[in-house]
Amino acid sequence: MNDMRKIDNSIMAALLGIVLGVLLTLVSGKVFEKKEFDGDYNRWRKLNLILQEVQKHYVDTIDMEGMTDAAVVAALAKLDPHSVYLPPVELEESETELSGNFEGIGITFNVPNDTAIVLNPIIGGPSEKAGLLQGDRIVKVDEKVVAGVRMPQDSMIRLMKGPKGTKVKITVNRNGTLIPFDIIRDKIPVHCVDASFMIDETTGYIKLSKFTRTTYTEFRAAAEKLLAMGMKKLIFDLRDNTGGYFDQALLLSNEFLQKGDQVVYMEGLHRPRQDFDADGRGSLKDVEISVLIDEGTASSSEIFAGAIQDNDRGVIVGRRSFGKGLVQEPVNFTDGSGIRLTVARFHTPSGRCIQKPYDKDYDYDIYERYEHGEMTHADSMKVDTTAVFYTMRGRRVYGGGGIIPDIFVPIDTTRATNFYIQCNRKATQMRFAQTMFDKYRGSLAQIDDFGKLDTYLDQIDLAGQFISYAERVDGIKLKPGEWEDSKIYMMPQLKALVGRFSKLDDEAFYRFYIPIDDTIKAAMENPATVD
C-alpha cells in the first residue's frame, strides 16, 4: 500500500509541476528626476525601470509590448536552450498540441504541391459530417485563398482552428468543381499512437509520436489489443518522439518495471532530489521489449528509454537520442503569455544526466553528428568515457547526453540512386500517391485488410505507373538498369503512401515500410532480453 502511494504521489507531484503555472506580478519602482538608479535595486527591478524610462522619454514611438517581449527572450537566452518565453498564441498552441484534443474542423492533410490535400476527415468530426472527402483540395478558408500562394502549413492550420461552435467556410476543389462547405468547429481528439499491429505471430509493434494527456490510455488500449492477439515481444517505436508530459512517461514505464524499480529522479539547485519508482502493478512486466530511438527521440521518450535500459528490462535499438533532460516549470501571466523555466535535471536510475551539454553550437548538434560520422559509424558516437555508470546488472553505460543504444543501427546511405534522389527533391512520390487515390478512390477506400491491399497495389502495376508519371510530370527518366537498384526502397515507399488512403490509414503506411526499416530488422533479429 505504501509503495502504491509512492508512485501515486510521484505522479501527482509531476502533474502539479507541469500543469500549475505561477502567476507573477512585477512591481515598478519609483522613477526620480535625476537619472541615477540606486545600486541596491534588484536586477529585475532595474530592467523594469529601464523599460519605464524608454516608454516615457524615447525620441520615437515604439512598440512597448514587443520591446518587453524581446527583453524577456534575451534574458532567458542567457540561461539554457529550453527556458523560453511564449507569447499568447504560441503558448496556446503548445498546450493544445499536448492536451489530447483541440478545437477545429477535424481533418488531416498534407501539402505536396502548394495545395492542401485532405488525407482523411477524422471519423465523427465536423468535416466528415459536413461532407469533406479524402482527396479534396482546399482552395479557400472563409474568403482567404490558401491554394497556390505558398502559404505555410502552420498558417493554414491557424485559419482552420477556432473555438468550438464557431463556423468556418471551407471551399474545396473536387474533381475540378469548387464546392463550399459551412463547417461548425468542434473538439477534435488528437491521437498519439500512430500505429499498432502484429509483425508476426508473437511480435507486436506500437508507434508513439508524442506524450500527450491521452498517451497512457491510448497505449494501454493498443497493448491490450496486441496481447489478445498473442504478443510476447513488443517493438516500441519512439523515433522522432519529441516527448511531452512527464507523468505519461512514468505511467508507461510503470507498465514494464517491477515493484521498487526506479524510473527516474530529478534534482536542481533549488529543488531537492525527488525519486520516482514503479509500483509493480504494470500489465506488461513479462513482455520482452525493444525500444527504437534516434536523434529525434527526446525528453519523456528518453526518460522511458533510460528506465528500460538502466533496469536491464529490455534493449535499446537505433542511434543516440537527442539529449533533452531539463525539467521545465510553466510560469503563466495574466495576458496569456508565459515562460517555461528550467528548474531541475532528469537523471536515469544509474545516475546519468539525460541533458547534453549546451553551448554555442547546441542548435547545430544534429548537423555535427552527421559531419562527424556518428549517424553511420558507432565508433564515431559522442561518448563521455569519463562519465561511467552501471545498470542494475552491472553493465556499463555512459553519460554525456542522450541515451546511447545497446544496438547501433546506422543510417542507410546506399539507397540513393540518381532516380531516387531526383524524385525525393521534387516530392514526386507524394504527388503520385494523390494521383493514384484520385484514380482508384472507390476501391482503395474499401480495403481494410493488409494482404488484400498489398495484392491490389501489385495488380494495378504501381511501379509501371510511377515510372511513367515521374517522366511525364517531372521529367525524371530512368537510366538502363536503374530501377532494379531503386525499386528495393521505392516500392515499399510508394505502397506506404498510396496504402495510407485505404481504411488501414497509418497502419498500412508503417507496415509497408517494415521490409526496408533497418532498425526494426535489428530489433527483430536480436533478443530483447539483457544477458
pLDDT at 20: 30
pLDDT at 148: 86
Of 415, 393, 423, 424, the C-alpha closest to 406 is: 393
Confidence label for 100 from pLDDT (cuts 50, 70 and 90): low
Higher pLDDT, 259 or 133: 259
pLDDT at 42: 63
Q: DSSP alpha helices (H): ranges in 131-214?
A: 153-160
Residue 8 pLDDT > 50:
no
Confidence label for 381 from pLDDT (cuts 50, 70 and 90): confident
The predicted-structure confidence for 121-154, as pLDDT tens digits, reads as follows 876 688 888 888 877 889 999 989 998 888 887 7
Instruction: Give the CATH number of domain 193-411; options: 3.30.465.10, 3.90.226.10, 3.40.50.300, 3.10.20.740.
Output: 3.90.226.10
Maximum mean pLDDT: which of 71-75, 313-317, 410-414, 487-491: 313-317
pTM value surpassing 0.85: no
Residue 158 pLDDT > 80:
yes
pLDDT at 97: 65
How many helices and strands, by DSSP H and E, does the chain display? 17, 21
Q: Is 54 buried (19+), middle (13-18) or exposed (0-12) by CB count in 10 A?
A: middle
Residue 455 pLDDT > 60:
yes
Range from 9-23, 76-90, 344-358 carrying the lowest mean pLDDT? 9-23
Dump the DSSP string for 296-344: T--THHHHHHHHHHHTT-SEEEES------EEEEEEE-TTS-EEEEEEE
Residue 43 pLDDT > 70:
no
The helix-helix angle for 418-425 and 482-499 (nearest 10°) equals 30
As a whole number of angstroms, the distance between CA 381 and CA 372 comes to 8
The predicted-structure confidence for 224-233, as pLDDT tens digits, reads as follows 999 999 999 9
pLDDT at 72: 87
Beta bridge partners of 187: 103
Task: Supply 485's cell numbers.
Answer: 537498384
Of 110, 161, 155, the C-alpha closest to 137 is: 110
Give the torsion sign (CA, 131, 135, 141, 143).
negative
Tell me what the mean pLDDT of segment 203-217 comes to: 95
The predicted-structure confidence for 175-187, as pLDDT tens digits, reads as follows 788 989 999 998 8
Residue 61 pLDDT > 70:
yes
Strands of 407-408's sheet in order across: 193-198, 203-208, 233-237, 288-293, 315-318, 407-408
Tell me what the mean pLDDT of segment 314-326 comes to: 95
Confidence label for 112 from pLDDT (cuts 50, 70 and 90): low
Pairing, β 186-189 against β 193-198: unpaired
Percent of the chain with pLDDT over 70: 89
As a whole number of angstroms, the distance between CA 521 and CA 424 comes to 24
Percent of the chain with pLDDT over 90: 51
Beta bridge partners of 345: 267, 326
Instruction: Note the CATH number of domain 101-189.
Output: 2.30.42.10
Confidence label for 327 from pLDDT (cuts 50, 70 and 90): very high
Please state, in angstroms and as integers, the Cα–Cα distance from residue 162 to each residue in 107, 157, 379, following that order.
13, 10, 50
Task: Supply 58's cell numbers.
Answer: 524615447
Range from 72-86, 202-216, 302-316 carrying the lowest mean pLDDT? 72-86
Residue boundaries of the structural domains of the chain: 2-79, 101-189, 193-411, 418-519
Q: Is 272 buried (19+), middle (13-18) or exposed (0-12) by CB count in 10 A?
A: exposed
Residue 222 pLDDT > 80:
yes
Cβ atoms 100, 211 nearer than 8 A: no
CA dihedral 429, 435, 438, 444 (to 10 degrees): -40
The helix-helix angle for 215-228 and 246-256 (nearest 10°) equals 20
As a whole number of angstroms, the distance between CA 134 and CA 128 comes to 10
Tell me what the mean pLDDT of segment 4-12 comes to: 40
Give the torsion sign (CA, 235, 366, 216, 194).
negative
Task: Supply 481's cell numbers.
Answer: 538498369
Longest CA pairwise span in the chain (Å): 86
